[in-house]
Amino acid sequence: MCGICCAVSFSIEHFSKNLKEDLLCNLKRRGPNSSKQLLKSNADYHCLFSGHVLHLRGVLTAQPVEDERGNVFLWNGEVFGGIKVAPEENDTQIMFNYLSSCKNESDILSVFSEVQGPWSFIYYQASSHSLWFGRDFFGRRSLLWQFSNLGKSFCLSSVATQTSGVVNQWQEVPASGIFRIDLLSASISKSVVLKLYPWKYNAGNNVIKECAGSLTLISADLPTFVSVVENEAKLYLKEPVVPLNMMLPQAPFEIHCSGISSIPPRETLKVFLTDGHMNEVVQQFIDVLSAAVKRRVLCLPRDENLSPSEVLKTNNRKANVAILFSGGVDSMVIAALADRHIPLDEPIDLLNVAFIMKEKSTPTHFNKEGKKQKNHYEIPPEESSKNALAAASASPDEQFNVPDRITGRTGLRELQAANPSRVWNFVEINVSLEELQKFRRTRISHLVQPLDTVLDDSIGCAVWFASGGVGWLVTQDEAKHYQSRAKVVLTGIGADEQLGGYSRHRVRFQKHGLEGLNKEIEMELGRISSRNLGRDDRVIGDHGKEARFPFLDENVVSFLNSLPVWEKANLTLPRGIGEKLILRLAAMELGLTTSALLPKRAMQFGSRIAKMEKNNEKASDKCGRLQVISLENLSIEEEIQL
């Protein structure tokens, strides 16, 4: 995980050799282990590259990297497959070696077509004066662009700064393919032409998907001096997943389900598992998802901060992996599969967030010794604040007893029963209204932007507090302050989108049947880059942690895409069974019999953040709270001084 940035100017008077401090600080929070800047300048254009590394594999490689021909590379990604990276190697250097050896555009596209895993990148190819950049097929890593000064400058960055009342604000780079800018031509014409190399699925000689619609959508929000065109050679990237299976059953779907809905929920799932074909499909799903989790929990350094004597003591082991944990079926299955692959003497952090329900009542708190006291503490304003305490923990019937806390504790007991030898750190992260408002204003709002809805505010804030991992380990008699030091955070995003988990899937099915459900799932997966992933990457990355998404592993998505929709979800069945059916069956097979039957509950409702400030808002409304900008923040043109 890294914070990457490239500021380009075609006019020396609009160019600065340094990024402004607030943008630099935001990038450094994403990459706390190494920071470096590199300037490439000639008579026609000037490029400032800034790289900030969160070290997770191989030898620490400072970014940007440059070769003897003047090519420059910034990489914010993880190679989990497609290109071989040995455990002791660094994927940044491996990717740069491949790119440096590329002789033409087609070679560059071949490299990125092979990579499996999340990525965004910026690559300056000196010989052609080209700047290449883009995001992976799902958009699992953030990249933003901002064009200003009427074509005289632009900026690419993993994260932005707060902006208010500015015409040319930051926007997400669409995950539509890879873009290339001819910097020499742009400097002469004073206009920026974005050449797109789109994702396309190649089935033999039949190339599916034209990108004319994509060009129109991308161009819609760009300034007039910026245009988007398809590359002249009609080259493209190979989509990393197979297309969605849109097949419909030959017999009416209800016939397949006759009699099942009349039996108890747990027995219903058992009936499905007695079917030989369905059981085989579930086992295949468990295998492919387990492999995806394995790649994401083993690809990181271990014991780097411990002495040999500490390594021998299980109680002193730190958790290297954390899970955003509600106790729902998504996070429970991820936790159970992570337990298969993480060394047994290494704890796993389960991060469970709750927002205060009754601000005026007095909670029961614990002091440092674990003794009960009535007091209130704030979450540390910065990660370096070692002496401050987090929001205090309440007893089960008190202020933080939100739905996700209840199901989280139940899920913890289920995991402990499945593997009592594992240390499961259930981290209770409690947030007051005051803390929410303070950190939204100072740390979160610019991470959520350019997204701006009430839903984005709720989820962005909830994920930020949860992934920070500052909370309490609570037992029956005491509470111990705890901060997760895990650099990797697993999240269940992608399960609902692919497996019919949202209420809108059920509405679409009731109105338009399986055909409508297929189209809804196709739409969900197609928009996940712009709706969720860039925001979540920026929010989690702000803590110097890396978000990893097992349900969006290329092999997992291809497997699920290959199945007919009725093997993934059965929305003739009630909530808690029908949605995400295949995942519930997997949970049953893994021994998670309680969580397998929990209905889908959105994070903003389960954590109760949606109830804290205004109850009459719609999720799609623009959120005024995200527009609260501190007086010291200036416009982006003044901040970066491109």
Residue 395's CB is within 10 A of a number of other CB atoms, namely 16
Cis, bond preceding 64 (omega within 30 deg of 0): yes
Give the dihedral sign, CA 217/221/227/233.
Answer: negative
List the structure tokens of 237.
């990237």
Tokens of 12: 């020396």
- In 3D space, the residue among 14, 75, 77 whose CA is nearest the CA of residue 49 turns out to be 75
Residue 529: CB partners within 8 Å, gap ≥ 6?
135, 138, 139, 140, 172, 174, 175
Q: % helix / strand / coil in the chain, to the nearest 5?
A: 40, 20, 40
User: Are 6 and 74 a contacting pair, CB within 8 Å?
Assistant: yes
Q: Residue with structure tokens 């952090």?
A: 349
Produce one character per residue of 369-384: b if its CB has 16 or more CB atoms within 10 Å, e if not.
Answer: eeeeeeeebbbbeebe
**Is 2 part of the annotated catalytic residue set?**
yes
Q: Token digits for 470?
A: 């500052």
Residue type, 438: K
State how far the Cα of 145 lies from the Cα of 354, in Å rounded to an integer.
34
What are the C-alpha distances in Å from 429 to residues 29, 119, 349, 401, 463?
21, 29, 12, 12, 11
Cβ(130)–Cβ(180) below 8 Å: yes
Report the distance separating Cα 348 and Cα 102, nearest Å.
42
Q: Of 358, 293, 231, which Cα lies nearest the Cα of 495? A: 293
**Terminal CA-CA length for the chain:** 26
> What's the CA gap between 28 and 66, in Å, rounded?
20
How many Å apart are CA 291 and CA 303, to the nearest integer?
Answer: 23
For the residues of 371-395, what is the DSSP string, one character each? -EE----PPPSSTT--S---SPP--
SS3 172: strand
Q: Phi/psi at 541 (nearest 5 deg)?
A: -65, -20
Q: Which of 2, 6, 299, 461 does the annotation list as catalytic? A: 2
Query: Could you give the dihedral angle defined by the CA atoms of residues 365, 371, 374 and 377, in that order, rounded to the nearest 10 degrees?
Result: -50
- Whether the ω angle into residue 450 lies within 30 degrees of 0, i.e. cis, is yes
How many Cβ atoms sit within 10 Å of the Cβ of residue 102? 16
Q: Is the dihedral of CA 507, 512, 513, 519 positive or negative?
A: negative
Task: List Cα–Cα distances, 430 to 245, 334, 603, 607, in angstroms.
Answer: 42, 23, 14, 10
The answer for residues whose C-beta is within 8 angstroms of residue 64's C-beta and 6 or more apart is 4, 36, 37, 38, 49, 50, 51, 72, 73, 74
Which residue numbers are catalytic?
A: 2
